[in-house]
């Protein structure tokens, strides 16, 4: 091999070694991340088990004053598992959560509410009570059922009401002034059409996606959202931990929470 061949071979060797090093570094990084994730999952499983068994004493005292209204978003495919939904509600009832909103996009839970009420003897629909009790300890759980259609219809009704009210304030034969609509106008319209329900303090999402899946946005101004994973793998300990962590949040303004 002469000098000319060495000059051509050396850069190729350097590039090959560099690529090999980068690939090994990438594989090493993947191993570290996978190991960390596995350790985290196992740790959460053990912690959930210890919480369920009552071994971790700090989770025994839940200050539920900050959880006056709880919303649960469930992915529609998983919402067909009514037995799991009922079990989740029974857990919440045993914890002391009395006001719960159940939501899925396709209205699966809304269609199954009769079955849910049959399983939960003391539960009542939000339509049956004159006002949601946010103080004290009522002897029943109040349930609200929502779907994506409810929010869509609410916005349409509110927009129509605002438009009609705007027309009343102007001469129909003249030109309408350009109006600036604020959030307060929409909230007032939603209140009038009966769609401005209680704002949840905490929203738990059960499903593969970290999203509220179309839950009415106007009811989530200061709501804390926690992704709980799949409903198939729901755990009592994880539920307790999520509620406990929320109750320990420092609140500066209204219901706005800072960790």
Percentage of the residues of the chain whose pLDDT score is greater than 90: 26
CA dist., res. 183 & res. 88, Å (int): 34
Q: Do 96 and 24 have their domain in common?
A: no
Per 3-state DSSP, the chain is made up of helix, strand and coil in percentages (nearest 5) of 55, 15, 35
Q: Name residues whose C-beta falls within 8 Å of residue 187's C-beta, 6 or more positions apart in sequence.
A: 196, 218
User: What local confidence, expressed as pLDDT, does residue 154 receive?
Assistant: 61
Over its C-alpha atoms, the chain yields an Rg (Å, rounded) of: 26
Question: By three-state DSSP, how is residue 175 classified?
Answer: coil
Q: Do 141 and 232 have their domain in common?
A: yes
Q: Do 84 and 191 have their domain in common?
A: yes
- Measured from the Cβ of residue 17, the count of other Cβ atoms closer than 10 Å reads 10
Q: Of the candidates 26, 44, 60, which is a domain's last residue? A: 60
Contact between 104 and 112 under an 8 Å Cβ cutoff? The reply is no
The candidate with the shortest Cα–Cα distance to 47, out of 252, 250, 237, 246, is 237
User: What local confidence, expressed as pLDDT, does residue 180 receive?
Assistant: 53
Q: Do 113 and 232 have their domain in common?
A: yes
Q: Do 105 and 193 have their domain in common?
A: yes
Question: Exposed, middle or buried by CB within 10 Å (0-12, 13-18, 19+), for 89?
Answer: buried
Q: Do 105 and 54 have their domain in common?
A: no
Q: Do 27 and 84 have their domain in common?
A: no
C-alpha of 218 from chain center: 14
User: What local confidence, expressed as pLDDT, does residue 97 receive?
Assistant: 92
Q: Do 36 and 132 have their domain in common?
A: no
Q: Of the candidates 13, 29, 60, which is a domain's last residue? A: 60
Residue 172 pLDDT greater than 50, yes or no: yes
Q: Name residues whose C-beta falls within 8 Å of residue 196's C-beta, 6 or more positions apart in sequence.
A: 187, 190, 218, 219
CA dist., res. 175 & res. 113, Å (int): 49
User: What local confidence, expressed as pLDDT, does residue 33 receive?
Assistant: 84
Q: Do 175 and 237 have their domain in common?
A: yes
Residue 20 pLDDT greater than 60, yes or no: yes
Residue 233 pLDDT greater than 70, yes or no: yes
Which CATH number covers residue 94? 3.40.1180.10
- Mean pLDDT throughout 85-111? 93
Q: Do 49 and 120 have their domain in common?
A: no
Alpha helices per DSSP H over 54-139:
76-79, 82-95, 108-111, 113-119
The candidate with the shortest Cα–Cα distance to 71, out of 178, 202, 168, is 202
**How much is the pTM?**
0.69
User: What local confidence, expressed as pLDDT, does residue 83 receive?
Assistant: 94
User: What local confidence, expressed as pLDDT, does residue 100 receive?
Assistant: 94
Q: Do 121 and 245 have their domain in common?
A: yes
Q: Which range of residues forms the domain containing residue 241?
A: 62-258
- Mean pLDDT throughout 30-55? 71
Contact between 112 and 120 under an 8 Å Cβ cutoff? The reply is no
pLDDT band at residue 256 using 50, 70 and 90 as cut-offs:
very low
Q: Name residues whose C-beta falls within 8 Å of residue 132's C-beta, 6 or more positions apart in sequence.
A: 69, 99, 126, 142, 198
Q: Do 199 and 231 have their domain in common?
A: yes
Question: By three-state DSSP, how is residue 154 classified?
Answer: helix
How many domains does the chain contain in total? 2
CA dist., res. 193 & res. 180, Å (int): 21
Q: Where are the beta strands (DSSP E) in the chain?
A: 70-74, 99-103, 124-125, 142-146, 202-206, 224-229, 250-253, 256-258
Q: Of the candidates 11, 34, 60, which is a domain's last residue? A: 60
The candidate with the shortest Cα–Cα distance to 146, out of 111, 107, 191, is 107
């Amino acid at each position: 091999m002469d000098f000319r061949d060495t000059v051509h071979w050396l850069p190729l060797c350097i590039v090959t070694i560099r690529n090999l090093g980068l690939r090994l570094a990438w594989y090493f990084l993947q191993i570290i991340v996978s190991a960390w994730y596995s350790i985290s999952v196992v740790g959460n499983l053990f912690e959930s088990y210890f919480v369920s068994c009552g071994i971790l004493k700090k989770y025994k005292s839940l200050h539920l004053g900050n959880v006056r209204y709880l919303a649960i978003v469930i992915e529609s495919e998983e919402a067909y598992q009514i037995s799991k939904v009922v079990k989740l509600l029974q857990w919440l009832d045993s914890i002391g959560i009395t006001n719960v909103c159940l939501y899925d996009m396709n209205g699966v839970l809304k269609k199954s509410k009769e079955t849910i009420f049959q399983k939960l003897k003391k539960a009542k629909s939000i339509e049956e009570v004159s006002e949601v009790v946010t103080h004290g300890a009522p002897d029943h759980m109040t349930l609200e059922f929502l779907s994506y259609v409810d929010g869509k219809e609410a916005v349409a009704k509110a927009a129509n009401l605002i438009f009609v009210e705007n027309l009343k304030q102007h001469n129909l034969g003249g030109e309408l002034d350009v109006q600036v609509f604020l959030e307060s106008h929409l909230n007032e319209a939603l209140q009038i059409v009966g769609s401005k329900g209680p704002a949840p303090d905490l929203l738990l999402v059960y499903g593969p996606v970290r999203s509220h899946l179309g839950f009415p946005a106007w009811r989530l101004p200061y709501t804390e959202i926690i992704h709980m994973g799949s409903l198939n793998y729901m755990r009592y300990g994880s539920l307790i931990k999520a509620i406990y962590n929320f109750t320990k949040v420092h609140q500066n303004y209204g219901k706005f929470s800072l960790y």
